[in-house]
Structure 1
Amino acid sequence: MSDDLRSRLDQAMAEFETQRQALVAARDRIAAVEVTARSRDDAVEVTLGADGAPTALRFPGNRHQKMSGQELAASVLEVIRVAREELTVRVRAGFDEAVGAVRGSAADPAEDRLQGLGLDRLLDPLRAPGGPLDPSGGKPRG
């Protein structure tokens, strides 16, 4: 392998590792997202984890004691809907931030260098007849 090709490959691998680390960090931040919301009537408060499942349900004060079962149920459903909407916004923002970081690093001049590298050619030996990625599965073509 020529020194120029080796240098470009090393640079591509370093950029890939930087992007991978950014995505792992974003995944960890998204997994840690937690949202707490309170109903408009202040009778119910709910906390949702990153997966959208409730992790806590609280009845601050004693307003809930004066509500009918139907009113309380409506309040619970309302606050879960509101919390899920907020959770969606936060998770999407985290995802967009991660994608932007990855795209942003590829939008610089390094992207031009990667285009010229021909990374697909690195797989050519594996695609050769009898190789692990041989499309014919090692069978003669014909």
Structure 2
Amino acid sequence: MSSPLFNEMEAAMAELRAQQAKIRDAQEQTQKETTSATSKDRMITVTVDHQQRLTAVRFDGTRYRSLAPAELANRIVELVREAQEDAAGKALAMFAQLAPTGFGSDIADVMGGDFDLDRMFDEAVRQASEMDDPLPDARKGGAGHG
């Protein structure tokens, strides 16, 4: 006969494996993604890969030749930035669906490289402590207690 704790552990492991598979699928899908941005006049199109690296620049027609070099360069830079932001947004949306409940906007920090692992664990410990101690303020002599 299995203990309730063993059954809970098995269920948690199965859930963890299922989540791992979803994350792996999402990673594979994002690696195949490309994002393009096209100028309003349809003269220039740029494409970035899943890591937001520029992979292609395409010019339609010859009108771009009439632009001053600085103007052409600025348009390309703006389009690359736009494509990179779109690519980041796609990845963020995909991985936000997989984030644990309560993770909230922290997924943007993870994707942007500003993730604070220590802060995340400290917050998890704090929340777990609150669950174990339902009246922390009263026991600690919160405000108004002498």
TM > 0.5 fold call: yes
What TM-score does the superposition give when structure 2 sets the normalisation length? 0.62
1:1-142 to 2 correspondences below 5 Å: 3-4=2-3, 5-99=5-99, 102-103=100-101
What TM-score does the superposition give when structure 1 sets the normalisation length? 0.64
Give the secondary-structure state (helix, strand or coil) at the position aligned to 2:55: strand
1:41 CA displacement? 3.1
Q: Gapped runs of 5+ residues in structure 2?
A: 103-127, 129-146
Give the secondary-structure state (helix, strand or coil) at the position aligned to 2:30: helix
User: Over the residues paired in the alignment, what is the CA RMSD in angstroms?
Assistant: 2.1
Deviations 1:72-129 (A, max 9, x none): 1111111111111211211111111121xx549xxxxxxxxxx9xxxxxxxxxxxxxx
Give the secondary-structure state (helix, strand or coil) at the position aligned to 1:61: coil
Counterpart CA distance in 1 for 2:13 and 2:7 is 10
Counterpart CA distance in 2 for 1:77 and 1:24 is 32
**Whose relative contact order is higher, 1 or 2, with alpha carbons under 8 Å and at least 6 apart?**
1
Q: Gapped runs of 5+ residues in structure 1?
A: 105-114, 116-142
Give the secondary-structure state (helix, strand or coil) at the position aligned to 1:98: coil
1:43 CA displacement? 2.1
Displacement over 3 Å in runs of 4+? none
Contact 1:41 1:75 in 2 (8 A): no
- Greater Rg over alpha carbons, structure: 1
- Pairs aligned (count): 102
